[in-house]
A and B are shown apart, each in its own frame.
Chain A
Amino acid sequence: MQAAVIALMATAHVQAGTFRVEPGDGAQERLQAALIEAKPGDIVDIGAGRFDLTDGLSLDVNGVTVRGAGPAATILSFKGQKGAGEGLLVTSDDVVLRDFAVEDSRGDGIKSKGADRIVYRNVRVEWTGGPKETNGAYGLYPVESTDVLIDGAVVKGASDAGIYVGQSKNIIVRNSTAMYNVAGIEIENSYSADVHSNLAMHNTGGILVFDLPNLPQQGGHSIRVFSNRVEKNDTPNFAPKGNIVASVPTGTGVMVMANRDVHVFNNILGENGTTNVMIVAYQTAFNDKNYDPSARDIVVRDNQHGRAGWAPAFPGGAELAAALGGNFPSVLWDGVGGTAANVHLKDPVLTVSLNLPAQGAAISLAQPAAYAPPSTSPAKDLPTILMPAAMEAATK
């Protein structure tokens, strides 16, 4: 690594350089030094092997590629972490992260904040002890960013969401695998996202689209969830209490809360004990006059449904199932907002509205009934999300 730095100094950074970092003594300092010394266009090339790290790493230089020898070969282990909230933190633009793994970070795995045009490609984040409340919250955690591309990632064991995109705009999450997390993939308080061709299995809930109050960016909208496999989400909820995902019933496939223009289509859904698709309003009290708690302009269509609803895992669920003849529906809406919410649930499976009278109404006020889409027109198809060409090129 030092040789690489000297070489770079000699060429005065005229050309892009490569910082090569190998495992071994002083890996923490050598790797962090490379992430600080790198200049735009440089590559930080992390060798194969295990890096035992004591503190979070961070990158704050635009245009840097951090790459390893593959997610099974280059392992950044934070098992002995003493400080910082995450394994790797990125706060600069045009960064590419690829071909390495982050294991056992005490907080989040990889966080990128205010990091526009970021690419996560073929990275793995895992808590190796399996699902535990003491695991970090998020595996991949881009927040407050424009143009986020996550491609071919694997995340296991997050005590909140495996792949979480928050308060961001223009997002693609694709070809990724989320297993044994509380939420597999979650898009929260975000605008314009395509979540497609992913596998979400053995989580508490597979794919979540949420919006929360009292945050700088809210009013989530224009999200497509399509061509995913969302199956066997059966890990009992292990989120620390107080977090919004602690309220996700075990065995939820796709859950949409308080967003507008969310389209769920062409997915394979099944073996989800509570339900395959759940559309709900934000459920607790709030005091934010700029916040719309209801789910509206929703389309659910053309999904393949396997078994669902045999074990609804939330308070009152068993009673509701009994009232519906023993089984919970495959597609469920809480009914908040009524016809005006323009909710179109068109899959040919048992589809029920709870017909709750208002946001925050007790479940005991539910008047569950089979649901037929309203005569209003469903929301128009949403455009395909596109990324700048350089980002797509970086995934090759």
Chain B
Amino acid sequence: MKRAVVMAAAWVGLVSASPSPQVDEALILSDALPPKLQDFGLLVDGKTPAPGVVPYHLNTPLFSDYSMKFRFMHLPKGKKAKATGDGLLDFPVGTVLIKSFGYPADMRSPEKDLRILETRLLIHRASGWVALPYVWNADGTEATLKRAGQRMDVSWTHLDGQKRTISYAVPNANQCKGCHVSGMAMTPIGPKVRNLDDGHQLQALAHAGLLSGKTQAVRPMPVWDKPESGTVALRARAYLDANCGHCHNKAGPADTSGLWLDWDQPADTNLGIGKRPTAAGRGSVGLDFAIKPGDPAASYLVARMASTEPGIAMPELSRSMTHEEGVALVSQWIREMP
């Protein structure tokens, strides 16, 4: 009954919001799970924000099968996010973090013929963060809630001029939590001060009245594929933090593995150096150590990053292809390790 009323309200909101959307803050704060993304009024289309919704970027992002990602945040009127340490921004209730995923027809001209596949929302409600995955229709006019996830075939021409086709997986709501969890609570992953600090982004957010507190990280993360932004070791650690550290940390879903790959983990056994497999099964791929210094080929951390086989491949979600450039970076780091 309650849900029906909310849905009716959302429908009225949608009609009145067209054609220039207006963010529906009441809907954001409600318990509703609106069936259409448009109900929120957050986006004009999959990659264009509505007024009051601001784009942001990360120094080193998660690899998701070479998809292009568009990130936005919406803060409730008059409220600010707060930066204290180098970690996650402290977002007020009413915040929405928005991420759209898409592929161009040809990666060599990414601005052309871009097809947005899905938009994921992470909404900070009074009860905590809620993850809602929305899947766009083929002509990009409407996105529908798919809490149980979905697979779809996607093709594009890759940077090497070759055609690629994958079975793209939109995660289900539980899989969202598979990564977005710390302890028992759902949490954002990306917008950490250390990964947002590119020298001006935090200042710009503060200037726009969206951020209070620090505008600089003590130890900012470099850009994983920009050598001028940091050493191989720092860029590899940034890559591991963004791609593995959200699960592989002391409070994350992979804590029991004893392999902790977040930015602040000291370079010891728990970082993988000389660490034997725990409960890895065939994920050990016949190797004794996560990281064998000097020998990436004998390090199962690398082998699991390179694999595309379920049960071996890491990360378990978001990837059906090998991120060759990421594997190369981590391999180089291990090769140069004393």
Do residues A108 and B310 form an inter-chain contact, with CB atoms below 8 A?
no
Find A32's partner among B172, B177, B178, B309 (CB 8 Å cutoff).
B172
Do residues A241 and B281 form an inter-chain contact, with CB atoms below 8 A?
no
Do residues B1 and A82 form an inter-chain contact, with CB atoms below 8 A?
no
Contact with B along A141-161 (1 / 0, CB 8 A): 101100000000000000110
Interface set, chain A 156-187, CB cutoff 8 A to B: 159-160, 164, 166-167
Given contacts A33-B147, A114-B184, A288-B269, contact A243 B277 (CB under 8 A): yes
Contact with A along B265-293 (1 / 0, CB 8 A): 00001100011111111111111110000
> Does A136 have its Cβ within 8 Å of any Cβ on chain B?
yes
**Chain B residue with Cβ nearest A132:** B282
Measured CA separation A114–B250 after assembly (Å)? 14
> Does A242 have its Cβ within 8 Å of any Cβ on chain B?
yes
> Which of A52-60, A193-201, A315-323, A361-369 touches B?
A52-60
Measured CA separation A312–B129 after assembly (Å)? 56
Measured CA separation A144–B280 after assembly (Å)? 16
Do residues A241 and B287 form an inter-chain contact, with CB atoms below 8 A?
yes
Do residues B151 and A82 form an inter-chain contact, with CB atoms below 8 A?
yes
Find B280's partner among A58, A83, A242 (CB 8 Å cutoff).
A242
B156 to chain A, nearest CB (A): 19
Contact with B along A105-122 (1 / 0, CB 8 A): 111100001100000000
> Does A84 have its Cβ within 8 Å of any Cβ on chain B?
yes
**Chain B residue with Cβ nearest A241:** B286
Do residues A242 and B276 form an inter-chain contact, with CB atoms below 8 A?
yes
Find B148's partner among A29, A105, A159, A166 (CB 8 Å cutoff).
A29
Given contacts A241-B287, A243-B277, contact A55 B3 (CB under 8 A): no
Residue picked from B169, B184, B258, B281, most chain A C-beta under 10 Å: B281
Interface set, chain B 49-102, CB cutoff 8 A to A: none
Task: Name the interface size band of chain A.
Answer: 35 or more
Do residues B281 and A60 form an inter-chain contact, with CB atoms below 8 A?
no
Find B177's partner among A91, A135, A217 (CB 8 Å cutoff).
A91
Do residues B2 and A166 form an inter-chain contact, with CB atoms below 8 A?
no
Do residues A216 and B151 form an inter-chain contact, with CB atoms below 8 A?
no
> Does A372 have its Cβ within 8 Å of any Cβ on chain B?
no
Chain B residues lying within 8 Å of A23, measured Cβ to Cβ, are: none
Interface set, chain B 281-330, CB cutoff 8 A to A: 281-289, 300, 309-311, 316-317, 320
Find A214's partner among B167, B258, B320 (CB 8 Å cutoff).
B258
Chain A residues lying within 8 Å of B311, measured Cβ to Cβ, are: 85, 105-107, 136-137
Find A58's partner among B1, B151, B175, B256 (CB 8 Å cutoff).
B175
> Does A133 have its Cβ within 8 Å of any Cβ on chain B?
yes
Chain A residues lying within 8 Å of B147, measured Cβ to Cβ, are: 33, 36-37
Find A84's partner among B256, B285, B316 (CB 8 Å cutoff).
B316
A135 to chain B, nearest CB (A): 8
Find A55's partner among B169, B281, B285, B289 (CB 8 Å cutoff).
B169
Do residues A36 and B172 form an inter-chain contact, with CB atoms below 8 A?
yes
Going nearest first, the 4 A-B pairs with the smallest beta carbon separation are A137-B281, A242-B284, A107-B311, A106-B311
B residues in contact (CB < 8 Å) with A = 1-3, 147-151, 167, 169, 172-175, 177-178, 184, 250, 253, 255-256, 258, 269-270, 274-289, 300, 309-311, 316-317, 320
Inter-chain pairs besides A91-B177, A137-B311, A216-B258, 15 sampled, C-beta below 8 Å: A35-B174, A55-B149, A58-B178, A82-B167, A83-B310, A83-B320, A85-B311, A89-B178, A105-B311, A216-B256, A240-B284, A241-B287, A242-B289, A243-B280, A287-B269
Q: Can you show 12 pairs from A to B with CB atoms below 8 A apart?
A: A12-B2, A35-B174, A55-B169, A83-B316, A91-B174, A91-B177, A134-B282, A137-B283, A159-B282, A212-B276, A214-B258, A243-B284
